[in-house]
Chains A and B, each alone.
Chain A
Amino acid sequence: MQPVNEMKLEFLSKSSNEAFARVVAAAFVSQLDPTIEELADVRTAVSEAVTNAIIHGYEDETGTIRMVCRLYERSVEIEISDEGKGIEDIELAMQPLYTSKPEMERSGMGFTVMESFMDRVKVRSKPGEGTTVTLYKTFSSAERPRKKQEK
């Protein structure tokens, strides 16, 4: 399926970019006329994935985080990737309450939050190479993207 629109963004793994990334994703996705609730779901999930890239992917280093958003007629696909540490055991990492950084007051709920606010979460990762998290969501909006937006 061909996206109706697409954007790519790269930014440094600084915590001040967490708010930036979720605001940008929500602004782009709002072209599909999602409900306020659906938009808030997207903001929350993007925040979780970007925060993970900063805290776990790059730890104390500064690296580049890449975000790709693809819009379809009524759905969105958001890919967030880092070239950081990677995940050894993805299944374990996605378990509720599992965290590799309890001393940093992490609760191990990031993936669970992503899964409960999005339709599907896909994780690809290789230790030493990095991690890509893809978030999928279909919007309930009966309304199709307005014609005037389809230039």
Chain B
Amino acid sequence: MDIKFTNRGSTLIAAFSGELDHHFAEYVRNKIEREVIKATTRDVIFDLTGLSFMDSSGIGVLVGRYANIRKLGGKAAIICSNGRIRKILEISGVLKLMPVYSELNDALRALSGA
């Protein structure tokens, strides 16, 4: 499990890779949290493209971060092309909180446009 951060203006892109489960949830949570509280971050894109596995522990991580991003006045979006992970996002209601896209450019456009 790894997570890498890049910035596009005030948008933070958090790119996940590997397998996200309960074992790695806390590690990922702390890493994202540290970036989200920076003054340079407003909106966040969770790029799940590199994830080969995610279970409901990942939902907790995403929903928890989303709550904090909103508190700080930002928006969030997800990039995901894996069918199974998308299904988990859908049944858990995450897609009602954050829009999901297949391409980074679509997510960036949506966040800057809205």
Contact = CB atoms under 8 A, between A and B. Distances in A.
Interface stretch (A13-21, A63-71, A77-85): A13-21
Interface string B82-95: 00100110011100
Interface residues of B, number: 21
Given A105-B61, A105-B63, A107-B63, A16 B56 contact: no
A15 B63 contact: no
B59 interface: yes
A113 B87 CA distance: 9
A106 B21 contact: no
A110 interface: yes
Nearest to B92: A109
Interface of A: 15-16, 18-19, 22, 37, 40-41, 43-44, 47-48, 51, 54-55, 96-97, 104-107, 109-110, 112-113, 116-117
Interface of B: 19, 21-23, 25, 29, 53, 55-57, 59-61, 63-64, 84, 87-88, 91-93
